[in-house]
Amino acid sequence: MQPGEQLKRHITPVDAIFYVLEGTGIVEVGDEQLEVTKDTLIDSPAKIPHCWYNKSNGVLRVLVTKVPKPDGPTKLL
């Protein structure tokens, strides 16, 4: 994500695991927000709203793993 970008709040039908590869950002899972940096691992349970914000001046890169393989679509909120 480029500086100033954010993802729309959404729900996935499966668990998501996020690993921050580069940069600093804010992850929101449910009602919690946390500022995260490189090498942080975040668990986002299935069917819980989540989103990402890059309020920094640098690029934010996050690896996303979904388990098990989704059998339904992501729902934008």
DSSP for 6-40 reads BPPPEE-SSEEEEEEEESEEEEEETTEEEEEETT-
Domain segments of the chain as ranges? 10-69
21 close to 76: Cβ distance less than 8 angstroms: no
Closest CA to 48 of 35, 34, 31, 67: 31
Q: Choose the CATH number for 10-69 among 3.40.140.80, 3.30.70.141, 3.30.420.40, 2.60.120.10.
A: 2.60.120.10
Burial class, 36, CB count within 10 angstroms (exposed 0-12 / middle 13-18 / buried 19+): buried
User: pLDDT for 15-73, tens place per residue?
Assistant: 999 999 999 999 999 999 999 999 999 999 999 999 999 999 999 999 999 998 777 78
pTM of the model: 0.87
